[in-house]
Structure 1
Amino acid sequence: MKKPIYIFNNGKLKREDNTIIFIKENDEKKVIPINSISEIHILGELDLNKRVLEFLTKNQIPLFFYNHYGYYIGTFYPREYLNSGLITLKQAEFYLNHEERIFLAKSFIIGAVSNILKNLSYYKKAKEELINSYIQEIENKAKEINLKTDIPSIMAIEGDIRKTYYEAFNVILNSDDFYFDKRTKKPPKNPINALISFGNSLLYTTILAQIYRTHLDPRIGYLHETNQRSFSLNLDLAEIFKPIIVDKVIFSLINKGQIQLKHFDEDIEFSYLNEKGKQIFIQAFEEKINTTIKYKNLGNVSYRKLIRLECYTKTDV
């Protein structure tokens, strides 16, 4: 099975015969077997040339770039070898049809709420009374979703539900070093926000890589506006998977003591993971996304495969 690779070091990416070579700044070389990788994530400073990009295009391997803080900043998306004009038109038709778009937008939020409730139910075994109050509040708010008839109202309900869900984090987490007061972005204001932002970046690119293996156009989303943003379908799908992938990784890493304050940059208020912290998170993220679960009549499938299946079931094209 092909796997993603993550490059943390600064260096150069070169083509050598029928494979890729990564050369670190100290001239140490590492061979990257082209037939064993699905995508490449770049977290360090990288030099590369057109020959490398041509080779990656030929082998349908996307590149994802992150800045120093771990924010996703861009993609080299090879020629869309599976893209279908007919499917793109169908996606656009769904987007322009108000009823179809609202139906799809609601389905993403309903999927997200379902997984949020699964998370809370999992953790209520230890703190049942406290967690039950959050479950009840979210269930009550979720009843309003089907009453909404426009995207801003749907997004507002989603934001309200997540606010309640985030309040439960301090009940779930067993560490005095990690307190979560509210969601903040660009920049994240504390370690929990740093973990959420980094995890979401990884999820967005993971979903983009799976969309690339389908006939779908990632530029056309339904919950998130299709405007000046490069991609939006991956953001839609991410709403479903954030609770069961990103959040579960965060809970596990903190409660097991695998992520500590020493894994954050203390010079900027612990708002960003340092390199070691990123490596720990990515390892846990990959383990989680490769975990298999029983899915309908398909038997055991990994979360990575489930993402691709959701590309089809949620867009119905």
Structure 2
Amino acid sequence: MNPLLISGFGTSINVDRRKLIVTNKLKNQRLEFSPHKIDHDSIIIDGHTGNITFESMRWLMKHNIHLTLLNWDGKLLAATLPEAPLSGKLRIKQYQKYQDNTIRFKIAEKIVQSKIQSSLNLLSELAKFYDFGYAKAEKSIQNERQLFAKSEPSLNNLMTYEGRVAQAYFDSLGTIFAKTGTKFSFLQRLGKENRRNYNASDEINVLLNYGYSILEAEIRKCTNAIGLDYSIGFLHEVHQGRTPLVYDLQELLRWLVDYSVIQLLEEGSLQKSDFIVTESYHMRLRESGAKLLIEKIRINFNRKSPYKDKNSTYQNILYDNVQQLANFIADKIKRVEFVVPKMEINRDDTVLLRQKLL
């Protein structure tokens, strides 16, 4: 993962003498990329005015680089992707699996199980460095697991289980946010304002929303490359204009965005001036803050962890998990498992060391 962020007024993207040219006259900036010599795998456009030529879009598609267009509030507006593979049979089987309630529930349950395990993995790693009551959070999540195991297998019960665990998870993260982002506020995560609603009114939810949009664009890229229909999900319901399969698969790596935000807050490089308050009292991220966050996400996506007897980046791990889902849908494998290895956090300032210093 190596996105290029393009932001600001008056930005233009065009092709001149076979080179991709990105200019911003107001900032007196100009980037040039020769054919087959561009390191970026995507371009994120976060601006209100500017232009892009048909030729530059063709140039990007030929180089397998997708465009992501974000709204002022960080919400994903659109993504242009290279041509998807011909996958009519795969999509027919995807629709059939969706209509089979037993199989649909099985896939949805595996997604939630992976999300919850990854959430616990992150909390257990963060507990080395922050005192937020990990034992209490772990016990709460384990209790919810036991309650769900005794309940009737249904999507409603599964969503209730996932929601309760998410509440315990974000209660813990809220304590960490308060310790690391002392100059920023974090109201809540699961209210009407912030759960898939991008009108955030506090800085930390702005960061989370922006990061989730970057993740959403990566998921779209994966599903497009493999040939799945992202309008048909298994955990999230099908709605007009929505991409439920993307929302499903986001659950596998949301924790990585959460950790990227914590890292950004911990290092203290983010300032109040990196945010804008609109006249409706909502907040958005300036280009300076967006670049800092995207860099953290890029680094974490490219981190390697042991996976299937070798070290793989989390981007490749994500792709392989989506491929395994496609293999299950196509009846190439008999069971689906979403496997996301734990990220080891290596720092010197453990809770025990801090206590000794104090």
State the TM-score, normalizing by the size of structure 2: 0.80
Structure 2 CA distance for aligned equivalents of residues 216 and 34 of structure 1: 30
- Residues 33 and 152 of structure 1, relative CA distance in 2, 3 Å threshold: farther
Equivalent residue, structure 2, for 1:31: 32
2:275 aligned with 1:275, yes or no?
A: no
Out of 57-66 and 233-242, give the one that drifted further.
57-66
Q: CA deviation at 1:48?
A: 1.7
Provide the secondary structure at the position in 2 that maps to 1:136: helix
2:82 aligned with 1:78, yes or no?
A: yes
Provide the secondary structure at the position in 2 that maps to 1:213: helix
**1:64-110 residue CA offsets vs partner (Å, 9 max, x unmatched):** 10022322111223332x24111111211111111111111111111
Structure 2 residue runs without a partner (length 5+): 330-358
Equivalent residue, structure 1, for 2:120: 117
Provide the secondary structure at the position in 2 that maps to 1:31: strand
2:73 aligned with 1:69, yes or no?
A: yes
Provide the secondary structure at the position in 2 that maps to 1:182: coil
Query: Any conservation in 2 of the 1:8–1:275 contact (CA below 8 Å)?
Result: yes
Provide the secondary structure at the position in 2 that maps to 1:73: strand
1:229-248 equivalent positions in 2, closer than 5 A = 229-243=241-255, 245-248=256-259
1:147-226 equivalent positions in 2, closer than 5 A = 147-173=151-177, 174-175=179-180, 176-183=182-189, 184-185=193-194, 186-226=198-238
2:21 aligned with 1:21, yes or no?
A: yes
Q: CA deviation at 1:181?
A: 3.7
2:301 aligned with 1:289, yes or no?
A: yes
Query: Any conservation in 2 of the 1:19–1:34 contact (CA below 8 Å)?
Result: yes
2:98 to 79, 95, 100: 95
Out of 112-121 and 11-20, give the one that drifted further.
11-20
Query: Any conservation in 1 of the 2:230–2:244 contact (CA below 8 Å)?
Result: yes
State the TM-score, normalizing by the size of structure 1: 0.89
Q: Amino acid of the residue matched to residue 20 of structure 1?
A: L
- Residues 161 and 17 of structure 1, relative CA distance in 2, 3 Å threshold: same
Q: CA deviation at 1:280?
A: 0.8
Between Structure 1 and Structure 2, the one with more helix by share is: 1
Query: Any conservation in 1 of the 2:132–2:176 contact (CA below 8 Å)?
Result: no
Query: Any conservation in 2 of the 1:148–1:154 contact (CA below 8 Å)?
Result: no
Structure 1 CA distance for aligned equivalents of residues 304 and 31 of structure 2: 30
**1:224-255 residue CA offsets vs partner (Å, 9 max, x unmatched):** 22331342222111111111x11111111112
Structure 2 CA distance for aligned equivalents of residues 276 and 59 of structure 1: 27
Structure 1 CA distance for aligned equivalents of residues 133 and 276 of structure 2: 33
Q: CA deviation at 1:279?
A: 1.1
Query: Any conservation in 1 of the 2:207–2:285 contact (CA below 8 Å)?
Result: yes
**1:167-195 residue CA offsets vs partner (Å, 9 max, x unmatched):** 11233232433443421323112112111
Matched positions, count: 313
1:34-49 equivalent positions in 2, closer than 5 A = 34-35=35-36, 36=38, 37-44=40-47, 45-49=49-53
Relative contact order, CA 8 A, sep 6+: which one is greater?
2
Identity of aligned residues (%): 22
Structure 1 CA distance for aligned equivalents of residues 129 and 277 of structure 2: 32
Q: CA deviation at 1:267?
A: 5.6
Query: Any conservation in 2 of the 1:21–1:29 contact (CA below 8 Å)?
Result: yes
